[in-house]
């Protein structure tokens, strides 16, 4: 049999990053009770964007006892961290949150909601890119600043004028 790579070796094909990260994340999240990483990854879709901005899941605490089948298991307590003033609102809609979690999984995995107040981790907003002045605006300000004798002042005014006259 002829091997296109030569000398009987087969070429290693790269694996998707998700295949490598999922097992490592699974072990870490299982220590916090999140055997299914879905709760963390799909949190905004489960409870909605508005609520996801003010609360986040911390742990899924299962009752102690022997392991049972999924149908016989007692429901877990979902522990969430909530921004200060939103604690009361989350407490009032706790049944709705539990219903959404359970409908997402398709079985009654969360039976109680435990609320902890504290700061949540926010996703960093991407910084807007700095707008650069148009070449036409810089050329026009250079013409206007030709009479200025001080070189540093002229360069600063050309830079400022370029941004002012730019159409962005």
Angle, CA 38 vertex, CA 124 and CA 102 arms, to 5°: 120
Per-domain residue ranges for the chain? 20-117, 135-165
- What is the tens place of the pLDDT at every residue in 5-37? 556 666 666 776 656 655 665 555 545 445 556
Higher pLDDT, 16 or 119: 119
pLDDT at 70: 54
CATH topology of domain 20-117: GMP Synthetase; Chain A, domain 3 (3.30.300)
The mean of the pLDDT values for the chain is 79
Please write the tens of the pLDDT for every residue from 76-108.
889 999 998 899 999 999 999 999 988 887 878
pLDDT at position 60 over 70: yes
């Amino acid at each position: 049999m002829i091997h296109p790579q030569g000398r009987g070796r087969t070429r290693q094909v790269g694996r998707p990053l998700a295949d490598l990260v999922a097992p490592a994340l699974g072990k870490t999240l299982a220590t916090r009770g999140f055997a299914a990483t879905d709760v963390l990854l799909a949190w905004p879709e489960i409870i909605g964007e508005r609520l996801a901005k003010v609360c986040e899941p911390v742990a899924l605490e299962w009752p102690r006892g022997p392991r049972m089948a999924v149908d016989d298991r007692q429901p877990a307590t979902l522990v969430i961290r909530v921004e200060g003033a939103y604690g009361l609102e989350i407490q009032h809609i706790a049944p709705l949150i539990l219903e959404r979690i359970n409908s997402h999984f398709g079985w009654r995995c969360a039976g109680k909601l435990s609320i902890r107040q504290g700061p949540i981790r926010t996703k960093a907003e991407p910084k807007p890119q700095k707008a650069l002045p148009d070449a036409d605006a810089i050329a026009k300000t250079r013409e206007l600043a030709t009479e200025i004798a001080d070189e540093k002042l002229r360069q600063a005014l050309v830079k400022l004028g370029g941004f002012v006259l730019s159409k962005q």
